[in-house]
Amino acid sequence: MVEISSKKDQEAVLKRLRAAKAVDFAEPVPNHWLTAAGPDPLRNRQWGLPAIRWFDKTRPDAADVHVAVLDSGIDEGHADLKDAIEDYHRGPNQARDFLGHGTHVSGIIAATFNNVVGITGVANCRLHCWKIFLDPPAGSTKQKFDFDTYSQGLAAILDSDIKVVNLSIGGELHSQTEQILFNELAASGVIVVAAMGNEFEEGNPIEYPAAYDGVTAIGAIDEVDRRASFSNTGTHIALMAPGANVLSTVPRQKASLASSVDYDSWSGTSMATPHVAGCAALLYAAKPRSKASADAIVKRLKTKARKVPAMKGKSTTKEYGHGVVDIAAAL
């Protein structure tokens, strides 16, 4: 082996050596690299990250951005989540996430990056979790909504540092109380993202909180950029995001909605919504909380969304909204 000082000199030396009758062949020393999956071993199974172009641009540090998740709870001791949790409000309930839904949603947003464990979240933000479903009977998937904890959580966000709220929940009843809360949150600079719902094949109802004024409604695409068959449509839809077979965190103890422990792949607009919440957190980094900032971020996510073939050249449709969230373009 011979070390050559420059590429130009290397090419000249190779040319002379290859011309020599005493030399069988001459070539540059080949380069190789490790083929492990990387610092987070399951990252290559997260098809949602390349779908939102997460790898295509350097992302800002969102460590000071606070994001609220109002859901079924969270596994506080999960290796991929414990360092991201700022606080956990669970009212009269046990700490355990019996359903697993909130843990799955939280992992999509903020699973710890480069900790040599599991998956990678969209943003390295701080999580504030509210458990808004009462503990179900053992082994049950029953979901009993706790409106008191939910409404108190939304009200508490007004007087906090929280900039983004993820609501992977649905319902068909319009509430004036909720609309007032969302109006106040929007006026204070909080971005609220909510799931469109999964009942397209059961009548495609309008669901709340996604359909409230001041809320950004999110639908789900599959791995080939088509609307997931279950994803609701409507004129209020804003964006699409990965929502089919999405790998994320689930509780370390068996949860009633999970088929395994630690990590599991789920489908739903519930999974699409936290992709957008994480993108909003990245765009909100180093910006003060204000209505102007929040409005500008939501507008940018919409205008920079990636169009898909099914939109047929239109800027927005009731099936896809403005398109698929594209964090590289938005940044």
Average pLDDT over residues 242-246: 97
Q: Which residue type is seen at 148?
A: D
Confidence of residue 330 (pLDDT cuts 50, 70, 90): very high
- Compute the chain's Rg from CA coordinates: 23
Is the pLDDT confidence value at 255 over 60?
yes
Q: What is the mean pLDDT of residues 78-106?
A: 96
Of the listed 75, 78, 97, 101, which one is catalytic? 101
Indicate if 32 belongs to the active site.
no
pLDDT of residue 38: 40
* 5: annotated active-site residue: no
Q: What is the pLDDT of residue 186?
A: 98
Average pLDDT, the chain: 93
Q: In this predicted structure, what is the pLDDT of residue 201?
A: 96
The predicted pLDDT at position 30 comes to 64
What is residue 311's predicted lDDT score, i.e. its pLDDT? 98
pLDDT of residue 27: 84
Q: What is the predicted pLDDT for the residue at 91?
A: 86
- Of the candidates 168, 256, 267, 270, the residue annotated as catalytic is 270
pLDDT score recorded for residue 10: 85
Higher pLDDT, 31 or 7: 7
Q: Is the pLDDT of residue 1 over 90?
A: no
DSSP-derived secondary structure for 89-153: E-TTS-SS-SS-HHHHHHHHHHPPTTSSSS---S---EEEEEE-EEPPSTT----EE-HHHHHHH
| pLDDT grade for 35, boundaries at 50, 70 and 90 | very low
- Rounded CA-CA distance 110/124 in Å is 5
> When comparing pLDDT for 142 and 154, which is higher?
154
Which candidate in 40, 71, 135, 262 is catalytic? 71
* Residue closest to 121 by CA, chosen among 277, 295, 308: 277
User: How far apart are the C-alpha atoms of 71 and 167, rounded to whole Å?
Assistant: 7
Q: How far apart are CA 227 and CA 27, in angstroms?
A: 50
Give yes or no: 148 in active site: no
With bands split at pLDDT 50, 70 and 90, how would you rate the model's confidence at 136? Answer: confident
Q: What is the pLDDT of residue 192?
A: 98
Give the pLDDT band (50/70/90) at residue 31: low
Distance CA 126, CA 297 (A): 19
At 37, is the pLDDT very low, low, confident or very high (cuts 50, 70, 90)?
Answer: very low
Tens of pLDDT, residue by residue over 279-319, are: 999 999 999 999 999 999 999 999 999 999 999 999 999 99
